A and B are shown apart, each in its own frame.
Chain A
């Protein structure tokens, strides 16, 4: 019957399409994300004092593992520390220095420092972008009396510049990390 003939043609045509499609058997290449920031290291230095290193490392990015946050030691009271921030993408080998990218796009980035209420410390910017507004890769941290509490570093992408602080900065959060520190 004609129907049967037509149906069998259909099946045959289907099979034909199916079979010729499976020739290109090559496995896909993995994607190594280049924009990702996995690691932020904050180095606090002061004359005659040991360096204090604050670090957060999140090697699987938005994967299920939590970031590993470390603080190398306590700050000394009544000391002005000069701070600098380094950003790395450690999913690449060797790790890529992402600080350079932030420096290149300084107008589109800004770091903010939020000192928690328990901690007697102040921060001030120590660098500027090409238009004279703060960028925040370098800063000064004044550790005052002995106390303990949190300090949070926030990197905003495409903030309003200049701004009064995080309240009116807008933009999107690229990094946000909180460290528990003590001043002795």
Chain B
């Protein structure tokens, strides 16, 4: 194995003659996980076979090198051997990080990311396998919540939508194994269709700088990758079982990976989760159970200069929505909000009744990479996604058990990416992407289509260049262009069509008239440009200063364009607008980072100005035979979000460490000079972690999470007439709930059960004090408290 890499390095390296050969290369080799110095690491320079070992402090020193590029192999008995390309200019310092402990776990990671680095001028936040495993019983949203600058928009505890720097839904792009998730993410009660147990690594990029993925991620990009597989003869796996007290549930997760030295590898993963009704501190939250079944399979062939991989995953999630949150009109809202406990509390059950969701997501991808030697690296990918979304409502008569919403979204994507090094210092990424998407709303629901029939075509092209201007300064520049065409069949009510004056503006799109409805065929085109420009400056060994400007353009989504009617789960009428154009975001972000073993921190202030920002807000109360409903209308405005994310960690000694996190974001509607709705309140997290790797990897942590009250919010309250009491009552759904403080505990310990197996036992307690609280960003906060104390016991066997 090691020889292969050396061979490769020798192949790649270019023999060089140089005049000035009095330079040196020095640095340190550390463990990628805990930053500890690695002793006895062998560093070998290809071609010259000059070889040295690191000392007790993990440091190394190569004398007498020329101003040139060297290929260095870094190897250690307990780490995977890695090859690096290092440019020596004067006396150069360079540190290497190795993945330690891999031998013990029988797992080895290889390099070979789909896209190399995502963006060189934005600080990325990551969660590795170990971090992610702590969230195995939760959702993707819960894991993301642990990163600074991320909060979530919740509908109960099972629908957790990530908010990045104040933005969510269509403004957050999720890349699942290189595939952009197309899972109807426009709805606020639509959670990402991803099994957290299928992910091996999570990267978060705040903002749209990583143009190779998309140009419309005004909020940010979440990159999820399944665990990597090494080229060696091995088989390993993991099985875990967790008991969940709140919801009386269980999670079983298992994965197994087989790989061969000849390059073939395969892995399979599956998980099952079942919980019943969950509990707030003082009462049961009726109809909040979850049933989840997921599986994924990966098959691939990996050689040094090419790789082919096929991946398929299925995600099936059924979940109940709090029964007491389903309401008729405004009068019902008055009753529900003024009641201190939910209006409907039934006995505990595992049954999932209406209102409930049933979502199935299939994802398949085939990718091929080819190293073209000096020319660079080329990849080609095809992916297919099918998303079926069923929502069941409280209904009557023959329709009682029929879904109220039945959507099928099918997406095909082809793309090709090319990476090349123009010279030692210039690195270029480029690519082209084509996408075809079809949405089919099943008319058998007996309810008018919430999202119309449409076909959508996207064509995107991008290029990004980064260059090392000097040893310490990197410049990055990129551009992307996307063309989107939508061909839609939409039924409008005559009354709405005329009230909007569409009959005068768009007479040509009417296809057919059906009594009270008309069928129209809008054809929409969007031309979106996006760009990024940034620099990274490294100084004083361990400081880095990132600056990035990114321009993002997002075409309006089908819900923003075509909504027209009662949205049952929100008990409000929502109206879109056919005339919307793309929203354009300009984000400036600066990051100061210090990373060293004594302490590390990062400060990330940003300002995001979004023109033609699409926002939905209440405009009116309308009377229907069902009583009064509030009317919410989408409109375009100019918005601005200003915020800062701060992370700091400080090791008290080798075993004890403090972690701190603070996030603040302020959002304003600049056209109307008022705050934006649903902006995350300031959040302060402090954690103390004790970890003893000499004593069975014993880890224990206590986390305090203080969430401030959101003081800036638009006042959208309204009065509604209650005929029974002949009074006007205020419907107060704007006023945010108070601040709250939660304490969470987490512990785990490893036992070596045999030569090749490790058993990990974990205990987690969330909301230790059983605090009653309501979260401003939970859509159910008007009707019920959030989750009470929860014990989680996990047993995990690595083999």
Spell out A's residues near B (CB within 8 Å): 2-3, 6-7, 9-11, 13-15, 17-18, 21-22, 27-31, 33-35, 37-40, 56-67, 91, 93, 101, 104-105, 108, 112, 114, 116-117, 150, 152, 154, 157-158, 166, 170, 172-178
Task: Say whether B625 contacts A157, CB under 8 Å.
Answer: no
Task: Say whether B623 contacts A10, CB under 8 Å.
Answer: no
Of A6, A21, A64, A176, the contact of B723 (CB 8 Å cutoff): A176
Task: Kindly list 13 other residue pairs between chains A and B, CB separation below 8 angstroms, not including A31-B491, A34-B446, A59-B516.
Answer: A3-B375, A6-B378, A9-B380, A9-B416, A10-B432, A13-B414, A28-B491, A31-B448, A60-B516, A65-B499, A67-B625, A117-B726, A172-B327
A37 to B395, CA, bound (A): 13
Task: Say whether B491 contacts A38, CB under 8 Å.
Answer: no
B507 partner residues in chain A, CB cutoff 8 A:
none
A21 partner residues in chain B, CB cutoff 8 A:
436, 438, 455
A13 to B726, CA, bound (A): 67
A91 partner residues in chain B, CB cutoff 8 A:
515-516
**Interface: B116 (CB within 8 A):** no
B514 partner residues in chain A, CB cutoff 8 A:
30
- What are 16 of the A-B contact pairs (CB < 8 Å)? A10-B432, A13-B382, A28-B453, A28-B489, A29-B443, A30-B443, A31-B448, A35-B396, A58-B625, A154-B723, A157-B394, A158-B394, A172-B327, A172-B332, A174-B328, A176-B626
**Interface: B48 (CB within 8 A):** no
Task: Say whether B622 contacts A170, CB under 8 Å.
Answer: no
Q: Is the interface of A mostly helix, strand, loop or mixed?
A: mixed
**Interface: B7 (CB within 8 A):** no
Task: Say whether B495 contacts A64, CB under 8 Å.
Answer: yes
Task: Say whether B519 contacts A173, CB under 8 Å.
Answer: no
B625 partner residues in chain A, CB cutoff 8 A:
37-40, 56-58, 61, 67, 175-177
Spell out B's residues near A (CB within 8 Å): 326-329, 331-332, 335, 343-344, 372, 375, 378, 380, 382, 394-399, 412, 414-416, 418, 432, 434, 436, 438, 443, 445-449, 453, 455, 457, 459, 489, 491, 493-496, 499, 511-512, 514-517, 519, 565-566, 573, 622-627, 629, 723-724, 726
A33 to B491, CA, bound (A): 13
Task: Say whether B446 contacts A31, CB under 8 Å.
Answer: yes
A57 to B494, CA, bound (A): 17
A18 to B459, CA, bound (A): 11
B372 partner residues in chain A, CB cutoff 8 A:
2
Task: Say whether A60 contacts B493, CB under 8 Å.
Answer: yes
A60 partner residues in chain B, CB cutoff 8 A:
493-496, 516
A173 to B448, CA, bound (A): 20
A5 to chain B, nearest CB (A): 10
Task: Say whether B414 contacts A176, CB under 8 Å.
Answer: no
A172 partner residues in chain B, CB cutoff 8 A:
326-328, 332, 394
Task: Say whether B512 contacts A62, CB under 8 Å.
Answer: no
B529 to chain A, nearest CB (A): 20
A126 to B331, CA, bound (A): 26
Of B343, B378, B414, the contact of A170 (CB 8 Å cutoff): B343
A109 to B772, CA, bound (A): 34
Residue of B343, B378, B397 ringed by the most chain A CB atoms within 10 A: B397
Task: Say whether B516 contacts A66, CB under 8 Å.
Answer: no
B449 partner residues in chain A, CB cutoff 8 A:
28, 31
B153 to chain A, nearest CB (A): 24
Leading 8 A-B pairs by shortest Cβ distance: A14-B434, A173-B328, A176-B627, A152-B723, A58-B625, A62-B566, A172-B328, A60-B495
Task: Say whether A27 contacts B519, CB under 8 Å.
Answer: yes
B414 partner residues in chain A, CB cutoff 8 A:
10, 13-14, 17
B510 to chain A, nearest CB (A): 12
B516 partner residues in chain A, CB cutoff 8 A:
59-60, 91
A58 to B723, CA, bound (A): 19
B566 partner residues in chain A, CB cutoff 8 A:
61-62
A9 to B624, CA, bound (A): 56
B412 partner residues in chain A, CB cutoff 8 A:
17
Of A38, A63, A104, the contact of B495 (CB 8 Å cutoff): A63
A157 to B629, CA, bound (A): 17
Of B415, B445, B623, the contact of A31 (CB 8 Å cutoff): B445
Q: Which residue of A lies closest to B629 (CB)?
A: A62
A91 to B627, CA, bound (A): 19
A58 partner residues in chain B, CB cutoff 8 A:
624-625
Q: Given A10-B415, A105-B396, check contact A65 B327 (CB 8 Å).
A: no
A35 to B496, CA, bound (A): 20
B396 partner residues in chain A, CB cutoff 8 A:
35, 101, 105, 108, 157, 174
A64 partner residues in chain B, CB cutoff 8 A:
495-496, 499, 622
A54 to B491, CA, bound (A): 32
Task: Say whether B328 contacts A63, CB under 8 Å.
Answer: no
A154 to B382, CA, bound (A): 56
B443 partner residues in chain A, CB cutoff 8 A:
28-31
Residue of B438, B573, B623 ringed by the most chain A CB atoms within 10 A: B623
B491 partner residues in chain A, CB cutoff 8 A:
28, 30-31
